[in-house]
Structure 1
């Protein structure tokens, strides 16, 4: 009986950790795409991701069932509309951010665009707060259709809902598409050429500015996808909801190896599992009463434990799990 309880406990941690980790991985890809080309940490990406979540909130709000007739669009069609709208809005927003805040500082010391990125992040927070606040929506509860919250089956002690499978399915499609684009297309080769040597790529006829803008477009679109999926999984939003997931996604990118697409995915999954395990330690008390001291470890401490684990891993592997050690050009 005890063995069965332990197995259910571990399976539950793995399932929930993979779901959260998948979200982190999608957001982390936005950081990785930009860093891989410009060696720039786009801290405004957390607010770009939040913009995608707000777009999902607005689409589900506007297209929710009519109060009088009760008629509404098919919920899956509404989800697709939200997904495509968020990808377009966040992709274009990222291009505007690159053009106005980063491109003029491209040759400045690295600290300058970093400060600019933080400034853009704060500006976007206030813009979202202004746009939603003037309508009295400081707290945004996404109107998730009941079809998405239905439990399809149980896996150990975890209820797997429709939105969980949607999250995994959309993530798989996006990751497959991104891999094909970056590694098996002419555009991907151009982006990788700019990332490797911008000057030489320009001499070979590649428009570096265009490729950099395209990279920001792709990164923003990925952030929009992550925002919509986040809104489905965690429907209670506010203007600051992007900060913590953004920091964790950046940490996942660093953990996996900043600049590595497979590393961002692996880092997100590892961080999600570690975080969920640490947040569930108190549950072991009910299985092993002798571990009563674990009851003092509350779920709120999972973030602290996850970042401690991150630090320990990076001490032994500074370049990240799949990162490569690089030498500075002289």
Structure 2
């Protein structure tokens, strides 16, 4: 039982990272039905931006986090305007190929400028171990920072979506683009705002991972990006609570598999769960069957 509780704490930490990245996937898909496979590389760039800010400017963790989120939001808008907006009315395969191309461009463009070697993230948060329940569970202060930061960002996201004008516009566009446009909502501004919010969350995840694992590299966004996509699909892509549930479910599953002797198979288990969910409930755990006229 002690080991189980300890792994649940570890799973919450990893699940928080997956949830932050998955939220970007699910918001973009919900608004324009696009799978942005470059989203994992925004997360990678967020880690490098946080690394540069803390290493060269010697700023604090929260300052670096906020600046990184702002810069990643701007980057997300630029990518949407340059790469995705011109092909918005094209076929889905064209959008998919474009997303993969953007992903490769970001990965190897970053590698060209910062080289391929792994870099050590500076220690911006004092790492201390807190013993709970008479020492049966050990929680690191960095894990607490990650979990609390994720919860705060998710609460802010929910406030933006449900209480602000732009959030209502996002929900309207996701429901019916044409009707929203007839009501005076700017589709372009709404899509750009969606990319900005999703990219900011991915950037925050990059900083948190850099702090947690103390190492970053130009290809670090590939596997977590795929895992976050799996989390979004498991929860029901296009549904924000589903992305959260999928992220935490996947994070806890991976830590349990690793803890009980299957660390070599944790990636395979993630994809196996995806296949199983798609076979049983193709629209995800919180997804709904939608009838489409043909």
TM-score interval, smaller chain: over 0.9
Given candidates 176, 179, 191, the residue that maps to 1:200 is 179
Counterparts in 2 of 1:149-298, with a 5 A limit? 149-154=127-132, 158-282=137-261, 297=262
| TM-score, normalised via structure 1 length | 0.85
Identify which of 106, 126, 144 aligns with 2:108: 126
Measured on the aligned residues, the alpha-carbon RMSD in Å equals 1.5
Partner of 2:86: 104
Match in the other structure for 2:13: 19
- Aligned partners of 2:17 and 2:77: how far apart in 1? 22
8 A Cα contact 1:141 1:237, kept in partner: yes
Bigger Cα displacement from structure 2, 150-159 vs 37-46: 150-159
Query: In the TM superposition, what is the alpha-carbon distance from 1:19 to its structure 2 partner?
Result: 1.0
The 1-side partners of 2:111 and 2:34 are apart by 26
Question: Which of the two has higher C-alpha Rg?
Answer: 1
Give 4+ residue runs of structure 1 displaced > 6 Å after superposition: none
How far apart are residue 190 of structure 1 and its match?
Answer: 0.9
> CA shift at 1:183, angstroms?
1.6
Three-state SS of the structure 2 residue aligned to 1:148 is coil
Aligned length: 293
Give the distance between the partners of 2:62 and 2:239, measured in 1 at CA.
Answer: 28
CA distance in 1, matches of 2:206, 2:30: 22
Kindly state the Cα deviation for residue 154 of structure 1 after the two structures are TM-superposed. Answer: 4.3
SS in structure 2 of the partner of residue 250 of structure 1: helix
**Contact (CA 8 Å) 1:36, 1:260: kept in 2 or not?**
yes
Counterpart Cα distance in 2 of 1:109 and 1:169:
40
Q: Please state how far the C-alpha of 1:158 moved relative to its aligned partner.
A: 4.6
Q: Which runs of 5+ in 2 are unaligned?
A: none
Task: Report deviation, 1:197.
Answer: 1.5
What's the TM-score, normalizing by structure 2?
A: 0.95
For 1:235 and 1:250, the matched residues in 2 are separated by: 24
Distance (whole Å) between structure 2 residues aligned to residue 159 and residue 54 of structure 1: 29
Q: 5 Å matches for 1:20-59?
A: 20-59=14-53
Is residue 103 of structure 2 the alignment partner of residue 139 of structure 1? no
Q: Report the secondary structure of 1:328's partner residue.
A: coil
Residue in 2 aligned with 1:292? none
Assess if the C-alpha contact under 8 Å between 1:148 and 1:161 holds in 2. no
Residues 30-61 of structure 1: per-residue CA shift (max 9 Å, x gap): 10110010000000000001111111111121
CA deviations 1:272-301 (Å, max 9, x no partner) are 11111111112xxxxxxxxxxxxxx4x121
Aligned partners of 1:27 and 1:49 also within 8 Å: yes
How far apart are the structure 2 equivalents of 1:235 and 1:321?
Answer: 34
In 1, the alpha carbon distance for the partners of 2:191 and 2:49 equals 25
* Offset, 1:91: 0.6
Deviation at 1:63, TM superposition (A): 3.8
> Greater RCO between the two (CA within 8 Å, min separation 6)?
2
